[in-house]
Every structure is written in structure tokens, then in C-alpha cells.
Amino acid sequence: MRWTKFGFAFLVGLIFCCREHKPSLREIVLQSPRDIADPVLLSLNPGMGFHRVRIVNQIRRATPYLPGQKLKLGVISGKVRFSFGIVPEYFLKVKQPVEIQIFAANSGQEKLIWSQTISAKDAPGWQNALINLPATPVNLFLTSNAQDCGLAVTPLARIAEEKPSRPSIIFILIDALRSDHLGAYGYSRNTSPNIDGLARSGAIFQNAVTASTFTATSLAGFFTGFMPWEHKMIFGYNLILDPKLATLAVKLREAGYSTAGFSSTYFHLSDLQLDRGFDLFDESCDKKFFSGDAECLSDQVVRWLDEKPDQPFFLYLHYTSTHAPYSPPEPFQKLFSAGLEKPGGEVGKGEILRFGKNRKWYQIPRPPAKNETEWLISQYDGEVRYADSQIARVLEKMEKQGSRKKALIIITADHGEAFYEHQIVEHINELHWPVVRVPLILSGPGIPAGKEITGLVRSQDLAISILDLVRAPGLAEATGKSFLPLLQGKQENKRAGYAVLYESKKNYEITVVYYPYQLLVSQPGDKNIELYNIETDPDEQNNLALQKPGLTRDMLKLLPEPETVLLRRKPGLPKIDQETLDRLKTIHYLK
């Protein structure tokens, strides 16, 4: 009987403890409890605490309205804009419409200057507002009849009347885009007419390398100017960006830029803190990741451009069309598949999760047949053309607004893609040249037209270079270096590019590119060291490690100390033994 009572009590306790937690509206509106320290905002709105507030997958820097308070908005003049929104969960609890009012306080008198009413029938999401204030600064505050913590308001921002002194920046990243599948890089298929046009009007970098084939790790390098073992955002170790690290968006916002990001990744970059520094970060296209993402993303961006954002602005776009599975919409699905037989099953749908290391546990490992590879590539190329066509919509919108010629436009990728050149399809567990090499095209003010740069540049160099190009304060502690001297035609010493990959808790791979050579080191694994001349052997079929032992040793010396890369991992993971560390520093075991 004693055990029966204990078992019953334990069961009741377990049910109670495991019961789904229903967050309060305050918890919902405050997605991140950390206040956002922003000297620009605080100068306009002293005493306000800003948070990252998510409403319908759009994140904005905002402050929550507490019931009954007079929310001080600051002392400001002229034309100002702001956004406001109510989390949808609010109207599940409170049925009455929400009234929002802004008053100007002057000489002890309060005057209503703006009001808005929102009901449950209104479309959820952020709404934008514009107020024309007197030339003399006035003290503003906001009140509302909101009964709970569901209303959030962004800071008021002045709309500058004078022309911007710096160009706007459009940073376009296309996930898993191979350089050699773009016309600008010599591809035979017409996959990228609009991107090719940008390349002709600007500069193209022939040898740009990413720091990782894992998207989050790669983006952290792009945004911070650090290598993976420096920013520590590595798969299997940590996936949250260190709050102490400044980012490109933070620095541009401090320099007076309006900042907005749009991503269609199925996982939220904001959950990884990669939205840091953005006034707006839109992830509402996440459900379109596997179908129609580019159209959804461009729709959102065009609507944002319709708001005529203040210039200069920094706009980050993350398209995911070229990520597997390759399933472009019509007419792009048939654009490059003429004469090819569509395979049956998953492969015919553009799915690659059955080849090499990508296979599922119950599948027999096998390479793709020739017709399967040809079909997958045709669909991938269709995705490239689809993304290119949607990027054109954004560029056309900017052209109509007269802002395109004044903007610095960047095209790049987080990593490339493999088609079984080295027994891997997609980019998981792969660091060979087609995956490590990424496209990099710059067009706009200060960029020489038709410039082709063969010198090696790295993903961690981009943020520093952008800040250098627009003459904004840089990322002082970052280890990336500006490639502006290369754009200006100046001689520059060679630099090495690195990429790191963790396959599991025990395996890793690291590569160093010192053009024209690429060295790959894996541990543990069948292929301990590979060395290729990527200029004469871009497909990397001839391993030179044994043929050129002196060069191999010299390339090994370029690798960071293994302790630097590996021993920053989570406590408790297996440490690399001394024998392995020694093997990385010599090549005697290759004989």
C-alpha cells in the first residue's frame, strides 16, 4: 500500500511538473530579457529600456507598454517615424480594442497629437506610423488602455531631411550557392543574368573562401570579422553569438544607418542572436524554406522599401532557394532539365538524403547514378535562376526609387555545394574547394567596374571591408582585414583562409587555403591529409601531399595550433590526445 501511494504521488507530481508552461504576455513580449544598450536611442529616449520584441516572426527593437503608465518617448522635433504592435496572444485574453495615444507636453499643457485603435479583427503584426512635429522640440509621452503587457512600441526616429553622406548597403546572401554555377564565374548555363549584370558593373572576387560550411558559423564570421575558434559559434560547441561581440549591423547603426534583415531560413537566426544590431529582423518566410522562399522574401523586402526607409540603410537578405532539397517552382523546374529523365522517388523531388554520408540510417550507401546527378544539378541550377529572378525584383524596386545607383550591393554565399565530387552531396561534412569557395561580387559607389580580383579574401574580411568602404568606424578587435587595397589595385601580401568543420563530437576537419594550394586535415579519418593545386586541379582529383612533402609541411605550419581550435569545446567532450596533436604537425605517417 505504501508503494501504491508513493507511485500515485510521484505520477501526480510528474504530470504537474511536465505540464506545458503557459507563458504570460510579459514573457511573450519580452523574447529576450536583456536590455539593448544603444547610445543613439538613449540620447533620444533617455531612461527607456529596449528589448527584442517578436510579433508574427518580425523582431524589432522596442519597449513594452506597462498598463497605466505614461511612457516617455523623449524630447524630439520635426518629422518622426515609429512602429507599434500587439502580440496576437493579447486578444485571446482581452477582447476590448486597444487605444494608443501620443501627447505633447509643453508648459504644463498636454495636447493629443496622434492616436490609433487596434481590435482583434485587425491583421496581426507591426504597424508603421508617421508624425509631423513642430520645429521646436517637444516632450512626448504615450498612453494606452491596454490591460496587460502585450503592446510594444519602437523608439521614435527622426527622418533626416538632408541627403545622406554614405551609401546604403544591400547585403544579399544566397545559401549554398556555388561560385562556378554563376555565369559571372564562367558557367555555361544562363543561371544568373541579374547577378552577372552586377558583376559587370562592379568587382568580382575569384577566390573568396568561407570559414565554415555550417550556416550559423559562417554568418558569425561574416558579421563579426572573427574566425570560428574566435567567435566560438561552432556546431557541437556553441550556437549563440557571444553578447560581447560587436557586429556589422551594430557598427552601421552606430554610424547612423537604419538596419533591416530578412531571412527565410527554417531555423530562426534571431534565436542564435544573429539579429543583433537590426532595427527590424523579419523571419516570416521561414515556412517557405522548402518552396517559394525567394518570392516570399522579395515580397517582404519590396513592401519594406515601399515605406521609403531613411537613407542610408543597411539591408541584409538571406535567400535559401539553392539549399537542398532542390525543388524550384515552374517554369524554373524545367528550365535546365530538357532531355533528362526525371528519376523516381525522392531524387526526382530534388532530395539528396540518401547518398554518401547524407543517407538515412536504413538506406544502403551508394553513389548517385549519372542520371540522378544530372537531374539534381538541373534542379539546383533552376533554383539559382529562381533566386536570381527574385533578386531582380528588389533591384528593380530600388531602380524605380532612384536608390540603386547610390547603393553598395554585395552578393555572396555562406558556403558552396557538392555534387559527389568527393563522395558527398550537399555541403554537410565537406570542405573541398566547391564548398569552401563562395561567390563575392560588389557593385556600387567606389567599386571599379569590370574589376576581377584573384587574390584570396575570406568571409571574416567582409564586415571590415564594408565599414572601410563607407568610412564608418570598424570592428577594432576583429582579426579580419579590409580588402579595400585589392579593390584599389594595390599590392598586398598573401593571406591564408581557413575553414573548420565538426562532423561529430569526436571528428573534425580543418582546411587552409594559401592560393593556389588547399590543404585538408581530418581527425580521425581515412584521409588524414590532402593537398591540391586548386588553380590547375579545381576538381581536386590529384592529392599532392606525398609528392610535395616540403610544401605539405609548410602548409601545416599555417594551421592554427590544434589546441586553439579544439580545446575550446564544451567541457566533458573527448580531448584530442597528444599523439594526434603531433600527427598534425608532421607528415611522417603518410609514408
Nearest by Cα to 515 from 453, 564, 585, 561: 453
Condensed to tens digits (0 to 9), the pLDDT of residues 261-294 reads 999 988 888 888 899 889 899 999 988 887 889 9
- Return the pLDDT at 58: 86
Domain architecture of the chain: domains with CATH: 25-158 (2.60.120), 168-322+370-490 (3.40.720.10), 516-590 (3.30.1120)
Q: How far apart are CA 224 and CA 465, in angstroms?
A: 12
Residue 53 confidence (pLDDT) above 90: no
Of 28-32, 114-118, 391-395, highest mean pLDDT: 391-395
Residue 585 confidence (pLDDT) above 70: no
Phi/psi at 220 (nearest 5 deg)?
-60, -40
Q: How far apart are CA 353 and CA 290, in angstroms?
A: 14
Given pLDDT bands bounded at 50, 70 and 90, which one contains residue 453? very high
Of 46-50, 452-456, 552-556, highest mean pLDDT: 452-456
- Return the pLDDT at 357: 63
Report angle CA 486, 181, 469 to the nearest 5 degrees: 25
Nearest by Cα to 466 from 474, 456, 458, 476: 474
Lowest mean pLDDT among 413-422, 475-484, 506-515: 506-515
Residue type, 531: L
Give me 474's grid cell.
Answer: 570598424
Pairing of strands 203-209, 98-106: unpaired
Condensed to tens digits (0 to 9), the pLDDT of residues 299-336 reads 999 999 988 776 789 999 999 999 989 999 999 999 99
Q: How far apart are CA 290 and CA 11, in angstroms?
A: 41
- Return the pLDDT at 493: 60
Residue 42 confidence (pLDDT) above 70: no
Residue 122 confidence (pLDDT) above 90: no
What are the beta bridge partners of residue 511? Answer: 499, 520
Q: What percent of the chain has pLDDT over 70?
A: 80
Cβ pair 211, 219 in contact under 8 A: no
Give me 317's grid cell.
Answer: 537578405
Nearest by Cα to 272 from 287, 259, 283: 283
Phi/psi at 222 (nearest 5 deg)?
-55, -40
Mean pLDDT along residues 442-447: 94
Given pLDDT bands bounded at 50, 70 and 90, which one contains residue 529? confident
Of 53-62, 161-170, 316-325, 513-522, highest mean pLDDT: 316-325
Q: How far apart are CA 545 and CA 30, in angstroms?
A: 54
| Strand segments (E) across 88-219 | 98-106, 109-118, 127-132, 138-144, 151-153, 157-158, 168-174, 203-209
- Return the pLDDT at 288: 83
Lowest mean pLDDT among 42-46, 333-337, 363-367: 42-46
Given pLDDT bands bounded at 50, 70 and 90, which one contains residue 415? very high
Q: How far apart are CA 36 and CA 105, in angstroms?
A: 27
- Return the pLDDT at 375: 92
Please list the alpha-helical segments (H only) found in 488-561: 549-558
Given pLDDT bands bounded at 50, 70 and 90, which one contains residue 346? confident
- Return the pLDDT at 6: 40
Mean pLDDT along residues 416-422: 88
Lowest mean pLDDT among 252-256, 435-439, 446-450, 451-455: 252-256
- Return the pLDDT at 124: 78
Write down the pTM of the prediction. Answer: 0.83
